[in-house]
Amino acid sequence: MSSESPAVAILAGGLATRLRPITETIPKALVEVADQPFIVHQLELLRRNGLTRIVLCVGYLGEQIEQVLGDGSGCGVQVSYSFDGAKLLGTAGALKKALPLLTDSFFILYGDSYLNIDYQAVYRAFRAAGQPGLMTVFRNADQWDRSNVIYADGRIVRYDKRNCVPEMQHIDYGLGILNRDVLAPVSDEQPTDLADIYRDLAAQGKLSGYEVFTRFYEIGSHEGLEETRGYLSSQGSERGDNG
């Protein structure tokens, strides 16, 4: 495995229908949260964790994101863009299209998630496990959303978003790491969901797990947006103007 610092692929190409009417004219990544676009909060968090090579997988109104962020230097990072284009790709398809911009192994983060954890610790766990994929998990017990993971002894025993069973006490936290080879079989002809890639890796015993204990914040819904606004406003106050 390459020792270079991993890139971070941010999946930010969705239509964000649950946030309408806010997202009728702007993409979700640019929704204002605590006085700046949400994507800026994400990039600053990644920079604080030593991750500065960012690839944004964009689609709906993605040109607006590029106009705001440019090359990312204003946030202290390096940003590249991979546009979905006219054809629906799905989340895994979007990642496959972005592979020329990505490192041998790379983080995957959703464009509506704020995950305030130690990313370098996650990467160390990935390397130590020696598996082609890693999923971070949180013991959710159906508190914020439906639990969808059976996690034990540092590995994902089962992951399935569509067929949840009572044994599932953890949830996909929204941050993963993959080796680029995992995406080789992804079809260029039909959309493929990243969740299916994770599900198949788990079934093959090739998906390690890393449990986190800090709850996640997201802006995928109006309720989540308000919660995240409150959290990031308080974080900004704690860090001060130079945080």
pLDDT band for position 62 (cuts 50, 70, 90): confident
- How many domains, in total, are found in the chain? 1
Instruction: Work out the average pLDDT over 30-41.
Output: 94
108 Cβ partners below 8 Å, 6+ apart? 8, 9, 11, 95, 175, 176, 177, 178, 194
Q: Which pLDDT band holds residue 14 (cuts at 50, 70, 90)?
A: confident
In the prediction, which pLDDT does 130 show? 95
Q: Per-residue pLDDT for 242 more than 60?
A: no
**Across 39-66, average pLDDT:** 94
Helix locations, the chain, DSSP H: 38-48, 62-69, 90-98, 119-129, 194-203, 222-239
* pLDDT tens per residue, range 192-215: 999 999 999 999 999 999 999 998
pLDDT band at 144 (very low <50, low <70, confident <90, very high): low
* Confidence (pLDDT) at 213: 93
First-last CA distance in the chain: 34
The structure tokens 């089962």 sit at 158
Residue 138, domain extent = 7-235
What does the alpha-carbon distance between residue 192 and residue 197 come to, in Å, rounded to a whole number?
8
Asked if residue 42 is part of any domain, the answer here is yes
**Greatest pairwise CA separation for the chain in angstroms:** 49
Structural domain contains residue 207: yes
* Residue 243 in domain: no
Degrees (nearest 5) of the Cα angle 28, 213, 115? 20
Task: Note the Cα 223 to chain centre separation in Å.
Answer: 19
Q: Is residue 2 part of a domain?
A: no
Residue 165 pLDDT greater than 50, yes or no: yes
Q: Is 115 strand, coil or helix?
A: coil
SS3 33: strand
Residue 69 domain flag:
yes
Q: Is residue 102 part of a domain?
A: yes
Task: Return mean pLDDT, the chain.
Answer: 89
Higher-scoring residue by pLDDT: 61, 92: 92
- Pairing type for strands 133-139 and 207-212 reads parallel
Q: Does 114 reside within a domain?
A: yes
Burial 144-182 (b: 16+ CB within 10 A, else e): eeebbbbbeeebbbbbbbeeeeeebebbbbbbbbbbbeb
CATH classification of the domain holding 70: 3.90.550.10
Q: Is the pLDDT score of 241 beyond 50? A: no
Please indicate, yes or no, if residue 131 is contained in any of the structural domains.
yes
Q: Three-class SS of residue 216?
A: coil
Indicate if the pLDDT at residue 143 is higher than 80: no
CA distance 19 to 36: 17
Top pLDDT among 2 and 108 is at 108
19-33, 44-58, 136-150, 227-241: least confidently modelled range: 227-241
The beta strand positions in 50-204, using DSSP E, are 53-58, 78-83, 105-110, 113-114, 133-139, 149-152, 155-159, 170-179
Residue (of 3, 104, 98, 24) closest to 56 by Cα position: 98
Confidence class for position 100, pLDDT limits 50, 70, 90? very high
Residue bearing the bigger pLDDT, 96 or 15: 96
